[in-house]
């Protein structure tokens, strides 16, 4: 276990490894836990909540990476 001491403003440094990182602070029963986090833009949140849509997008990204094309793909520009 590493000993850390807060400075006069109550700050504790985590070191350069975590510079610029975003954390969630969870405090329970006097124990503070920091969990690294990422921000998802609100306009994209629906995709993370919709499991079927997310699976479809991930499948499409894999196919695009492999260069495989679906022959009966819908042309979205024509709709």
Average pLDDT over residues 48-70: 89
Contact 25, 32 (CB under 8 A): yes
Average pLDDT over residues 21-32: 94
Domains of the chain, residue spans: 42-68
The whole-angstrom separation of Cα 79 and Cα 16 is 50
pLDDT surpasses 70 at 65:
yes
Q: What is the pLDDT of residues 29-54, one digit of tens each?
A: 999 999 999 999 999 999 999 999 99
Average pLDDT over residues 65-78: 76
Task: Record the pTM.
Answer: 0.52
Torsion on CA atoms 39, 41, 42, 47, rounded to nearest 10: -100
């Amino acid at each position: 276990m590493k000993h850390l001491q807060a400075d006069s403003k109550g700050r504790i440094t985590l070191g350069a490894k975590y510079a610029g990182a975003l954390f969630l602070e969870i405090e329970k029963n006097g124990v503070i836990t920091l969990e690294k986090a990422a921000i998802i833009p609100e306009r994209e949140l629906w995709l993370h909540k919709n499991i079927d849509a997310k699976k479809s997008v991930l499948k499409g990204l894999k196919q695009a990476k492999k260069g495989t094309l679906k022959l009966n793909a819908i042309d979205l520009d024509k709709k």
